[in-house]
Protein backbone atom coordinates (compact mmCIF):
# COMPACT_ATOMS: atom_id res chain seq x y z
CA UNK A 1 0.00 0.00 0.00
CA UNK A 2 1.27 3.44 -0.94
CA UNK A 3 1.37 5.54 2.17
CA UNK A 4 2.74 8.77 3.64
CA UNK A 5 3.00 9.28 7.38
CA UNK A 6 3.74 12.82 8.44
CA UNK A 7 4.70 13.92 11.92
CA UNK A 8 6.51 16.57 13.94
CA UNK A 9 3.80 19.16 14.40
CA UNK A 10 3.65 20.91 17.77
CA UNK A 11 2.91 24.13 19.62
CA UNK A 12 5.85 26.50 19.25
CA UNK A 13 6.47 30.12 20.20
CA UNK A 14 6.87 32.82 17.56
CA UNK A 15 10.46 32.86 16.35
CA UNK A 16 10.89 29.19 17.17
CA UNK A 17 11.79 26.23 14.99
CA UNK A 18 10.25 22.89 14.13
CA UNK A 19 11.09 20.01 11.79
CA UNK A 20 8.35 18.05 10.10
CA UNK A 21 8.96 14.55 8.77
CA UNK A 22 7.10 12.41 6.25
CA UNK A 23 7.91 8.72 5.93
CA UNK A 24 6.96 7.08 2.65
CA UNK A 25 6.19 3.44 1.99
CA UNK A 26 4.86 1.31 -0.83
CA UNK A 27 6.63 3.07 -3.71
CA UNK A 28 10.15 3.87 -4.96
CA UNK A 29 10.55 7.11 -3.07
CA UNK A 30 13.45 8.60 -5.04
CA UNK A 31 11.46 8.44 -8.29
CA UNK A 32 8.93 11.01 -7.12
CA UNK A 33 8.97 14.74 -6.51
CA UNK A 34 7.42 15.56 -3.15
CA UNK A 35 5.61 18.53 -1.68
CA UNK A 36 4.43 20.17 1.51
CA UNK A 37 0.96 21.72 1.49
CA UNK A 38 -0.68 23.49 4.41
CA UNK A 39 -4.30 24.23 5.22
CA UNK A 40 -6.15 26.67 7.42
CA UNK A 41 -9.88 27.40 7.64
CA UNK A 42 -9.16 31.03 6.69
CA UNK A 43 -6.82 30.57 3.70
CA UNK A 44 -7.74 27.07 2.55
CA UNK A 45 -5.08 24.97 0.85
CA UNK A 46 -1.68 26.56 0.29
CA UNK A 47 1.24 24.86 -1.43
CA UNK A 48 4.41 25.51 0.58
CA UNK A 49 7.36 23.74 -1.03
CA UNK A 50 8.46 21.06 -3.47
CA UNK A 51 11.59 18.99 -4.03
CA UNK A 52 12.72 16.88 -6.96
CA UNK A 53 13.23 13.13 -6.64
CA UNK A 54 16.98 13.50 -6.37
CA UNK A 55 16.72 16.45 -3.99
CA UNK A 56 18.70 18.68 -6.34
CA UNK A 57 15.88 21.13 -7.01
CA UNK A 58 13.71 22.87 -4.45
CA UNK A 59 10.89 25.40 -4.69
CA UNK A 60 9.09 27.57 -2.15
CA UNK A 61 6.16 29.92 -1.82
CA UNK A 62 7.45 33.44 -1.24
CA UNK A 63 6.09 33.69 2.31
CA UNK A 64 8.43 30.95 3.57
CA UNK A 65 11.55 31.59 1.49
CA UNK A 66 14.58 32.01 3.69
CA UNK A 67 12.77 30.51 6.68
CA UNK A 68 11.76 27.00 5.59
CA UNK A 69 13.99 24.33 4.03
CA UNK A 70 12.70 21.22 2.31
CA UNK A 71 14.95 18.19 2.08
CA UNK A 72 14.80 14.44 1.66
CA UNK A 73 16.78 11.38 2.66
CA UNK A 74 16.13 8.81 -0.05
CA UNK A 75 17.97 6.12 1.91
CA UNK A 76 15.37 6.53 4.65
CA UNK A 77 12.35 7.20 2.39
CA UNK A 78 11.79 10.38 4.35
CA UNK A 79 10.85 13.95 3.44
CA UNK A 80 11.55 16.85 5.79
CA UNK A 81 10.50 20.44 6.28
CA UNK A 82 12.75 22.49 8.55
CA UNK A 83 10.77 25.51 9.73
CA UNK A 84 12.65 28.41 11.32
CA UNK A 85 11.60 31.89 12.46
CA UNK A 86 8.05 30.69 12.78
CA UNK A 87 5.23 33.23 12.71
CA UNK A 88 1.62 33.11 13.84
CA UNK A 89 0.56 32.99 10.18
CA UNK A 90 2.42 29.67 9.77
CA UNK A 91 -0.17 28.05 12.02
CA UNK A 92 -1.79 25.35 9.90
CA UNK A 93 -2.28 21.66 9.27
CA UNK A 94 0.70 20.56 7.19
CA UNK A 95 0.46 17.72 4.69
CA UNK A 96 3.17 16.01 2.71
CA UNK A 97 2.03 15.02 -0.77
CA UNK A 98 3.48 12.95 -3.59
CA UNK A 99 3.52 13.96 -7.23
CA UNK A 100 1.54 11.81 -9.63
CA UNK A 101 4.02 10.26 -12.04
CA UNK A 102 3.00 7.82 -14.77
CA UNK A 103 4.92 4.60 -15.55
CA UNK A 104 6.96 6.38 -18.23
CA UNK A 105 8.24 8.80 -15.60
CA UNK A 106 6.14 11.75 -16.73
CA UNK A 107 5.10 13.94 -13.80
CA UNK A 108 1.62 15.35 -14.01
CA UNK A 109 2.39 17.70 -11.11
CA UNK A 110 -0.81 16.76 -9.31
CA UNK A 111 -0.70 15.32 -5.80
CA UNK A 112 -1.99 11.77 -5.78
CA UNK A 113 -1.05 10.60 -2.29
CA UNK A 114 -1.26 12.71 0.87
CA UNK A 115 -0.20 12.20 4.46
CA UNK A 116 -2.75 12.46 7.21
CA UNK A 117 -1.51 15.90 8.24
CA UNK A 118 0.42 17.24 11.22
CA UNK A 119 -0.67 20.35 13.12
CA UNK A 120 1.68 23.28 13.64
CA UNK A 121 0.55 25.98 16.06
CA UNK A 122 2.64 29.12 16.48
CA UNK A 123 1.57 31.01 19.58
CA UNK A 124 2.97 32.51 22.75
CA UNK B 1 1.43 34.15 -8.85
CA UNK B 2 -1.48 32.55 -10.69
CA UNK B 3 -4.78 33.06 -8.91
CA UNK B 4 -7.41 30.34 -9.11
CA UNK B 5 -11.03 31.40 -8.64
CA UNK B 6 -13.75 28.83 -8.14
CA UNK B 7 -17.47 29.33 -8.47
CA UNK B 8 -19.78 28.89 -6.81
CA UNK B 9 -18.38 28.86 -3.27
CA UNK B 10 -21.13 26.46 -2.30
CA UNK B 11 -23.90 24.57 -4.04
CA UNK B 12 -26.95 22.82 -2.61
CA UNK B 13 -27.92 19.73 -4.53
CA UNK B 14 -29.82 16.47 -4.23
CA UNK B 15 -28.78 12.90 -4.94
CA UNK B 16 -29.01 12.33 -8.67
CA UNK B 17 -28.43 15.98 -9.59
CA UNK B 18 -25.85 17.09 -12.11
CA UNK B 19 -23.35 19.43 -10.45
CA UNK B 20 -20.92 21.72 -12.25
CA UNK B 21 -18.08 23.63 -10.61
CA UNK B 22 -16.04 26.22 -12.47
CA UNK B 23 -12.42 27.22 -11.96
CA UNK B 24 -10.81 30.24 -13.63
CA UNK B 25 -7.08 30.92 -13.72
CA UNK B 26 -5.74 34.48 -13.76
CA UNK B 27 -3.53 33.52 -16.71
CA UNK B 28 -3.24 30.60 -19.07
CA UNK B 29 -2.17 27.32 -17.49
CA UNK B 30 -2.29 25.06 -20.55
CA UNK B 31 -3.51 21.66 -19.32
CA UNK B 32 -1.94 21.80 -15.87
CA UNK B 33 -5.13 21.63 -13.87
CA UNK B 34 -6.15 19.17 -11.17
CA UNK B 35 -9.28 18.65 -9.06
CA UNK B 36 -9.43 17.33 -5.50
CA UNK B 37 -12.21 16.22 -3.19
CA UNK B 38 -11.91 16.75 0.56
CA UNK B 39 -14.15 15.43 3.30
CA UNK B 40 -14.10 16.79 6.87
CA UNK B 41 -11.09 15.63 8.87
CA UNK B 42 -9.46 13.99 5.86
CA UNK B 43 -6.68 14.92 3.47
CA UNK B 44 -7.61 16.00 -0.04
CA UNK B 45 -8.07 13.21 -2.56
CA UNK B 46 -7.00 13.62 -6.20
CA UNK B 47 -9.89 13.10 -8.62
CA UNK B 48 -8.69 14.49 -11.94
CA UNK B 49 -5.32 15.59 -13.32
CA UNK B 50 -4.27 17.20 -16.61
CA UNK B 51 -7.76 18.75 -16.94
CA UNK B 52 -9.65 15.59 -17.79
CA UNK B 53 -7.68 12.47 -16.81
CA UNK B 54 -9.45 10.48 -14.14
CA UNK B 55 -7.26 9.06 -11.39
CA UNK B 56 -7.50 5.29 -11.21
CA UNK B 57 -10.41 4.20 -9.03
CA UNK B 58 -12.35 7.47 -9.30
CA UNK B 59 -15.95 6.90 -10.47
CA UNK B 60 -16.74 7.84 -14.06
CA UNK B 61 -19.51 10.22 -12.93
CA UNK B 62 -16.68 12.70 -12.34
CA UNK B 63 -15.34 14.49 -15.40
CA UNK B 64 -13.22 17.52 -16.17
CA UNK B 65 -12.94 19.83 -19.13
CA UNK B 66 -11.56 23.15 -20.24
CA UNK B 67 -8.40 24.77 -21.51
CA UNK B 68 -6.35 27.91 -21.12
CA UNK B 69 -7.97 29.76 -18.23
CA UNK B 70 -11.43 28.22 -17.82
CA UNK B 71 -12.06 24.76 -16.45
CA UNK B 72 -15.01 22.72 -15.22
CA UNK B 73 -15.56 19.77 -12.91
CA UNK B 74 -18.84 17.95 -13.49
CA UNK B 75 -20.49 15.31 -11.35
CA UNK B 76 -23.05 13.73 -13.66
CA UNK B 77 -25.28 12.16 -11.01
CA UNK B 78 -24.52 13.18 -7.44
CA UNK B 79 -24.18 10.31 -4.98
CA UNK B 80 -24.41 10.48 -1.16
CA UNK B 81 -20.64 10.05 -0.82
CA UNK B 82 -19.98 13.05 -3.07
CA UNK B 83 -21.06 15.67 -0.51
CA UNK B 84 -17.70 17.28 0.17
CA UNK B 85 -15.54 20.29 -0.70
CA UNK B 86 -13.84 20.42 -4.10
CA UNK B 87 -10.65 22.30 -4.98
CA UNK B 88 -8.93 23.06 -8.26
CA UNK B 89 -5.15 23.47 -8.44
CA UNK B 90 -2.87 24.80 -11.14
CA UNK B 91 0.47 23.15 -11.81
CA UNK B 92 1.65 25.31 -14.70
CA UNK B 93 4.15 27.23 -12.59
CA UNK B 94 5.49 27.77 -9.09
CA UNK B 95 4.04 28.54 -6.67
CA UNK B 96 1.35 25.95 -7.19
CA UNK B 97 -1.98 27.50 -6.22
CA UNK B 98 -5.40 26.23 -5.26
CA UNK B 99 -8.87 27.61 -5.66
CA UNK B 100 -10.72 28.60 -2.52
CA UNK B 101 -12.97 25.54 -2.64
CA UNK B 102 -16.57 24.72 -3.48
CA UNK B 103 -18.68 23.01 -0.86
CA UNK B 104 -21.32 20.64 -2.22
CA UNK B 105 -24.10 20.45 0.34
CA UNK B 106 -27.27 18.48 0.61
CA UNK B 107 -30.37 20.39 -0.41
Q: What is the pLDDT of residues A55-88, one digit of tens each?
A: 999 999 999 999 999 999 999 999 999 999 999 9
pLDDT, one tens digit per residue, over B62-91 is: 999 999 999 999 999 999 999 999 999 999
Q: What is the DSSP letter of A81?
A: E
- Cβ within 8 Å of B, A 32-61: 35, 44-47, 50, 59-61
- C-beta separation of B50 from B33 below 8 A: yes
Q: Is A65 on the interface with B (CB under 8 A)?
A: no
Distance CA B88, CA A73 (A): 30
Q: Name chain B contacts of A61, Cβ cutoff 8 Å.
A: 95
Angle at CA of residue A99, ends A94 and A100, nearest 5°:
135
Report DSSP letters for A6-64, one per residue.
EE---EE-TT--EEEEEEEESS-GGGS-EEEEEEETTTEEEEEEEE-SSS--EEE-GGG
Distance to chain B for A117, nearest Cα, Å = 7
Higher pLDDT, A104 or A111: A111
Whole-number Å distance between alpha carbons of B36 and A13:
33
pLDDT tens readout for residues B5-63: 999 999 999 999 999 999 999 999 999 999 999 999 999 999 999 999 999 999 999 99
Cβ contacts of B40 within 8 Å, gap of 6 or more: none
Amino acid sequence: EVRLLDSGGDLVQPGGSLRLSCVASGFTFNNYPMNWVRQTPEKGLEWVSAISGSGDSTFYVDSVKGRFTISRDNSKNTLYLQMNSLRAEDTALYYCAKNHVDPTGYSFRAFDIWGQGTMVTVSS
Amino acid sequence: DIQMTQSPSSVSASVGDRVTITCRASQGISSWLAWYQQKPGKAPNLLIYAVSSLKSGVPSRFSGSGSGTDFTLTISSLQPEDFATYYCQQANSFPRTFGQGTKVEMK
